[in-house]
């Protein structure tokens, strides 16, 4: 970190009386970029290395980082961008950009995205949520998505050799794995993020924007096909039909050693090994397979974008910092240090030596995000997709349940 104290020598008193300490041309005035980053997004080591390197390369800039908690962050960011003199650069969840852009208080980054940041190569699941009305407001920073984590011993015992290449092969393999004493897969009945991938893979949507009016789309034939695949897969295990993957935590269920597969982000591995260290050398990973060999299934892409408020005290300096964080050097450093997927498809090779992250990166190339509506967070708050899933899994009329859920989504998105 730079020394933040500026000295005003007595010999310069006359000049300083006119210009003020440190404000003369060439006087070395330091610009401070205030950044908000989310807790646990980066390690202390990564942040220290980036800060030191950036400040050494830009001797007129200091980085002042404040770590924020996810709980309650929406209100805090909205107040900051609508007030005066807020932070210069803010990390936000990729699916949150729409609600902040809806305030008309974000800086339009379209030109810089195309000219300087190679936006044509960005992961779609990060880039699309940052694009509102044809303008880019969020710069993709990092991504994470679901993969299949499996127990190598159970695969070997069932005679399943290697990861399946297609969704049809996945069902066949999972049926073999669903043997007496073990589950082929543990898939909770209300894991709607996983369901979303199957719906997208079939060409369906959770909701569609028709001339500025969002409507639920779970009742489309494509969405119903995605739900049917989910039902077929979920039946090859003993996951609850009326609960999500956190109730009970699926990592703890998998850690018992009698579950062949779960669908989760690699971050679940830490919880698995904490509960059962003996599984350390027994875990394998593969990208969720798609309908055709060589094309991964669509997946929900989570992660973060970087935004710059219109009221940022130093937008120019903030943009330079964002370019560094989103550029190849620090994307590579971040991906390897944190196990994230880099923001560009062309950078997937930088994590090729990390099996789980490499599986994520392959899936992220076909990643998607939730509907780009400012009200989507309200849908998730009282999520009608979950009871829809439970109804179908319990044998109720799928089309009727889908129409009910779609109507609820439409109502919420029109508020």
- Model pLDDT for residues 70-99, shown as the tens digit of each residue: 999 999 999 999 987 789 999 999 999 999
**Enclosing H/E stretch for 226:** helix 221-234
105 part of a folded domain? yes
Average pLDDT over residues 266-293: 97
pLDDT at 3 over 70: no
Residue at 86 is within a domain: yes
| pTM above threshold 0.85 | yes
Residues 151 and 275 in one domain: yes
* 115 CB neighbour count, 10 Å cutoff: 9
Give the SS3 label for residue 112.
helix
Looking at the structure, do residues 174 and 222 belong to the same domain, yes or no?
yes
9 pLDDT above the threshold of 90: no
Asked whether residue 15 is assigned to any structural domain, the reply reads no
- 236 is written with which tokens? 């090859």
> What does the pLDDT read at residue 415?
81
Beta carbons of 94 and 340 less than 8 angstroms apart: no
CA distance 143 to 340: 6
Res 2 pLDDT > 80: no
Both 288 and 342 in one domain: the answer is no
Q: How confident is the model over 190-224, as pLDDT tens digits?
A: 999 999 999 999 999 999 998 889 999 999 999 99
Percent of the residues in the chain that have a pLDDT greater than 90, as a whole number: 90
Phi, psi of 406 (to 5 degrees): -65, -40
- Angle at 368 (CA atoms; ends 365, 372), nearest 5 degrees: 145
Q: Is the pLDDT of residue 385 over 90?
A: yes
- What are the DSSP calls for 258-308, one per residue? -B-EEEE-TTHHHHHHHH-GGGTTSEEEEPPB-SSTTSBPPEEEEEEEEE-
Q: Are residues 140 and 150 in the same domain?
A: no
pLDDT of 26 strictly over 60: no
Distance CA 89, CA 55 (A): 16
| pLDDT at residue number 262 | 98
The mean per-residue pLDDT over the stretch 54-69 comes to 97
Q: Is position 5 within any domain?
A: no
According to DSSP, the residues that pair with 91 across neighbouring strands are 306
Is the confidence at residue 250, as pLDDT, over 50?
yes
Q: Are residues 316 and 265 in the same domain?
A: no
75/162 same-domain check: no
Which of 3-17, 116-130, 389-403 comes out lowest in average pLDDT? 3-17
Q: In which residue are the tokens 């090779």 written?
A: 349
Sign of CA dihedral 218, 219, 224, 230: positive
Average pLDDT over residues 341-361: 96
Q: For position 17, what pLDDT does the model report?
A: 33
Q: Name the token pair of 218.
A: 């779970």
Average pLDDT, stretch 237-249? 97
> For residue 18, what pLDDT band results from cuts at 50, 70 and 90?
very low
How confident is the model at residue 206, as a pLDDT?
98
Domain that holds residue 199: 146-300+371-413
- Please indicate, yes or no, whether residues 194 and 80 belong to a single structural domain of this protein: no
Mean model confidence pLDDT for the chain? 92
Residue 395: pLDDT above 80? Answer: yes
How many residues does this entry show for the chain? 415
Give pLDDT, residue 28. Answer: 60
């Amino acid at each position: 970190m730079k020394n933040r104290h500026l000295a005003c020598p007595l010999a310069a008193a006359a000049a300083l009386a006119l210009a003020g300490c440190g404000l003369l041309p060439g006087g070395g005035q330091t610009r401070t970029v205030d950044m908000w980053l989310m807790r646990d997004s980066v390690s202390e080591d990564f942040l220290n290395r980036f800060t030191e390197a950036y400040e050494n390369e830009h001797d007129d800039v200091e980085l002042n980082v404040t770590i924020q908690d996810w709980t309650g962050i929406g209100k805090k960011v909205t107040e900051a961008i609508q007030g005066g003199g807020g932070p210069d650069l803010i990390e936000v969840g990729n699916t949150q950009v729409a609600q902040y852009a809806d305030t008309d208080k974000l800086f339009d980054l379209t030109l810089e995205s195309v000219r300087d940041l190679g936006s044509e190569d960005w992961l779609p699941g990060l880039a699309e949520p940052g694009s509102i009305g044809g303008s880019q407001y969020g710069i993709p920073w990092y991504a994470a998505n679901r993969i299949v984590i499996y127990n190598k011993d159970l695969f070997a015992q069932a005679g399943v050799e290697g990861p399946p290449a297609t969704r049809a092969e996945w069902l066949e393999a999972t049926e073999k794995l669903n043997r007496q004493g073990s589950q082929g897969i543990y898939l909770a009945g209300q894991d709607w993020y996983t369901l979303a991938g199957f719906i997208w893979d079939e060409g369906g949507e959770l909701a569609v924007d028709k001339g500025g009016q969002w409507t639920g789309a779970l009742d489309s034939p494509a969405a119903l096909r995605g739900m049917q695949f989910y039902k077929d897969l979920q039946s090859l295990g003993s996951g609850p039909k009326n609960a999500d993957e956190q109730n009970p935590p699926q990592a703890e269920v998998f850690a018992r050693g009698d579950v062949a597969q779960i669908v989760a982000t690699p971050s679940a591995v830490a919880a698995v090994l904490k509960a059962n260290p003996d599984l350390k050398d027994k875990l394998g990973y593969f990208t969720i397979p798609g309908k055709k060999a060589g094309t991964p299934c669509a997946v929900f892409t989570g992660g973060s974008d970087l935004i710059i408020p219109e009221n940022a005290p130093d937008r120019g300096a903030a943009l330079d910092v964002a370019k560094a964080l989103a550029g190849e050097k620090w994307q590579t450093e971040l991906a390897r240090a944190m196990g994230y997927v880099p923001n560009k498809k062309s950078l997937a090779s930088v994590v090729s030596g990390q099996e789980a992250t490499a599986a994520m990166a392959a899936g992220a190339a076909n990643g998607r995000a939730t509907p780009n509506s400012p009200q989507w967070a309200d849908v998730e708050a009282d999520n009608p997709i979950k009871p829809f899933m439970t109804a179908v899994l319990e044998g109720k009329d799928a089309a009727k349940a889908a129409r009910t859920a779609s109507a609820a989504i439409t109502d919420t998105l029109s508020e």
